[in-house]
Structure 1
Amino acid sequence: MSANSRLTVAVHALAWVGLYQSRGFEVATSEQIADSANTNPVVIRRLLGQLRTADLVRSQRGSGAGWMLNRKLSGITLLDVYDAIESGPLFGMHRADPNPDCVVGAGIQPALGNVYGRLDRTLREELARTTVADVLSDTLSAH
């Protein structure tokens, strides 16, 4: 299994757009953002579409088409981004119900459900503590 990088790429895109706009540019293209993230512009457009639905960015069509922030980076938490692009629980249960006649099969989902619930709460608390502006600041100071 591979790690999900959608949150990372979405935060990268927001940080890039925020930096770009802070340098006096109004609209960023998905191609420019994709070049920075070293991914396909379609990936960026899909993620930005989800961020637009969450009202974190807006798009402009026609001449000068591209993407703009709807809020300052300091007003966007990683939890805002996570909620915009991720659906469903952090960890899932079995695809098919385990054997209820087995002692492990009968109790594994409630046991893991408790652990996963605590992990989800902890993840959400941590993501809420950090803004995209914090990430950009750390990124720029590391460079």
Structure 2
Amino acid sequence: MTTSSRFAVAVHILTLLAQADGPVPSSMIAGSVGTNPALIRRLVGALIEAGFVTTTMGSTGGAMLARPATDITLLEVFRSVETTALITLHQSAPNPACMVGREITGALRHVADRAQAAMDATLAEVTIAGMLADVEHAAQRRKR
């Protein structure tokens, strides 16, 4: 059971693009994220499909935001790059002859739905512009 870092990397990419004055090459993005450019290009592809990013070709090309950073919520980003819910239920059916096995899926689904709704509400309140402001504020505090 592993978790994905696609959401964190996508938010990193979008926040980096939000502070850039022009197109940012995948090699520069990869350097900021600390990964290889091929991984960045794949994730940028998903962000293009979602309508968050556009790219230009050539020696001065790269990625840039397709929409204002104030108009991109973290919920939209999460839904565009992650394929699973916050909590997934059993992969195989529990034993219906056992009271816990018979009832656990419904009980857990109720908790999972509440947790997912809480996460969605929190992510919907935060934009890429807000993330950039938080990053800039943290950088200013570090300088002091």
Correspondence 1:47 to 2:36: no
Which residue in the other structure is 2:104 paired with? 108
Separation of aligned partners in 2, 1:63 and 1:4: 32
Which residue in the other structure is 1:37 paired with? 33
Could you list the runs of 4 or more consecutive aligned residues of structure 1 that deviate by over 6 angstroms after TM superposition? none
Instruction: Look up the SS of the partner of 1:16 in the other structure.
Output: helix
Separation of aligned partners in 2, 1:136 and 1:92: 31
Percent identity of paired positions between Structure 1 and Structure 2: 40
TM-score normalised per structure 2: 0.89
Which residue in the other structure is 1:5 paired with? 5
Which residue in the other structure is 1:92 paired with? 88
Instruction: Look up the SS of the partner of 1:74 in the other structure.
Output: helix
Instruction: Tell me the alpha carbon deviations over residues 3-61 of structure 1, each in whole angstroms, 9 at most, x when there is no partner.
Output: 4322111111011111112xxxx211111001011111122112111111110111223
TM-score normalised per structure 1: 0.90
Instruction: Look up the SS of the partner of 1:27 in the other structure.
Output: coil
**Shift of residue 95, structure 1, vs aligned partner:** 1.4
**Shift of residue 63, structure 1, vs aligned partner:** 4.5
Instruction: Look up the SS of the partner of 2:88 in the other structure.
Output: coil
Instruction: Look up the SS of the partner of 1:79 in the other structure.
Output: helix
Separation of aligned partners in 2, 1:55 and 1:95: 33
Separation of aligned partners in 2, 1:36 and 1:133: 18
**Shift of residue 88, structure 1, vs aligned partner:** 2.9
Separation of aligned partners in 2, 1:100 and 1:65: 58
Aligned CA-pair RMSD: 1.4
Stretches of structure 1 that go unaligned for 5 or more consecutive residues are: none
Q: How many residues are aligned here?
A: 139
**Shift of residue 2, structure 1, vs aligned partner:** 4.9
